Structure 1
Amino acid sequence: MTTDITADLISLAVRSIHAMANGDRADFDSLYHPLATDRENRVQPPSSRVPGADGFYSTALWLRAASTGLRYDIHHALARGDLVVVNSTMNGTHAAPWVMYNDDAQVETVFPPTGKPYAMTQSHWFRFEDGRIVEHWANRDDLGMAAQLGWIPPTPAYLVRMALAKRRAVRRVS
C-alpha cells in the first residue's frame, strides 16, 4: 500500500529525472535541497560537481548539449522511508561532442558526434530530506550505450576524430 508521503516522494523523483531532459532552472530549485550531492558526477564537468540545484542543472545542460531528443522512459518506481529508486531508460541521439572529465576536472575524453540514437537503461536512487532530494546515485549501462554509439570497439578513423575533438575541447577550457 502506498501512502501519500511515499507517492509524493516517488512523484518528485520521477519529476527530477524528466527535468534532466527538459526542465528549466526553477524546476531544479524546487526539486533539490541546497546541500544535495550527486554521487555520479565523476566524469561530468566541474560545474556539475557543486552541491544543490546548481550542480544538477549543470548535469542536465551537459547531457542536453551532447544529445538531441533527450527523454526518459520510466519503468518502475519504489519508495521506502526517505529512499526512492526509479528504473528508467534514457533515450537520445548523439548529436554533439560528449566531453568526459577526470578526477582533477580536466578534459579526459571527447566522443565526437555519431548521429546515432541510443537507449541506456538506468536505475536512480534518491534520498530525500525536507521534501527535496539530498542525495543521488545511479547505475547505468554505459557499456551498452558505448556499443550502440560505436564508441567501442572504435574504428581507427573514430580514434582520430576523438583526438581532434579532445584537442578542441581542451583549448576551449584553457
Structure 2
Amino acid sequence: MSESRDRNLTAQERLGEILAARDAQALTEVFHDDVVDHDPAPDQAPGSAGIVGFWTEMFTAFPDLEAAPQTLVADDESVTVALTISGTHTGEFQGHAPTGRRFSVRGIQVGRFDDGRLVERWGATDEAGMQQQLGLAG
C-alpha cells in the first residue's frame, strides 16, 4: 500500500468515528475548509461549513442515525464507500416535523483526498426511498 492511500484510509476511518460519535463539529478534522461538495443537500452552504450544517441537521432529526459501510475501495487519491444509512425521525428534517418513523437506505460516497483531507465529495443516497419510508413522499 502507498503512503497516500494509507493516509486517505485513515482519514476515512476517522470520518466514520466522527459520524458514529455524532460530533458534527469534528468533521472539520477530515473535510478541507474549501471542500467542494458536488452533490449538496438542499440549501447546503459551501465548504466544510455546509458539511457540518448538513450533519448537524441529520443528527438532530435522527439521533440514532447510523452510517454503516458495506464496502470500501481506495487508491492514492480517492476513497469510495457504499453504505447503509438508517435512523428514526424524531426531530425536524428539511422542514418536516418528526414522524417517529424509521428509515434504512443505501448510499455511496466518493471522496477525493489531498494530504489526508477530503477536498471533493460526490455522493448519492436513496432520497426517494428515505422520503417514502418516513411518510414524507408527496
The question of whether the paired residues in 1 share the 8 Å contact of 2:82 and 2:107 is answered with yes
CA distance in 1, matches of 2:51, 2:19: 8
- Which has the larger Rg? 1
Equivalences for 1:46-61 in 2 at 5 Å? 48-52=44-48, 54-61=49-56
CA deviations 1:91-130 (Å, max 9, x no partner) are: 110112211xxxxxxxxxx322110111121100100112
Structure 1 residues 46-125: aligned runs within 5 Å: 48-52=44-48, 54-99=49-94, 110-125=95-110
Normalised by the length of structure 1, the TM-score is 0.70
Among all aligned residue pairs of Structure 1 and Structure 2, give the percentage whose two residues are the same amino acid: 23
Gapped runs of 5+ residues in structure 1? 100-109, 155-174
Structure having the larger proportion of residues in helix: 1
SS in 1 for 2:63: strand
After superposition, the CA RMSD in angstroms is 2.0
Using the alignment, how far apart are the partners of 2:13 and 2:109 within structure 1? 10
* Unaligned runs of at least 5 residues, structure 2: none
Distance change >3 Å, CA 41–CA 17, structure 1 → 2: farther
SS in 2 for 1:118: strand
Greater RCO (CA < 8 Å, at least 6 residues apart)? 2
**Matched letter for residue 30 of structure 1:** E
* TM-score, L = length of structure 2: 0.86
Q: Which amino acid aligns with 2:84?
A: T
Amino acid at match of 1:130: D
Distance 1:41 1:24 in 2: 16
Stretch deviating more after TM superposition (58-67 or 120-129)? 58-67
Matched residue, 2:12: 13
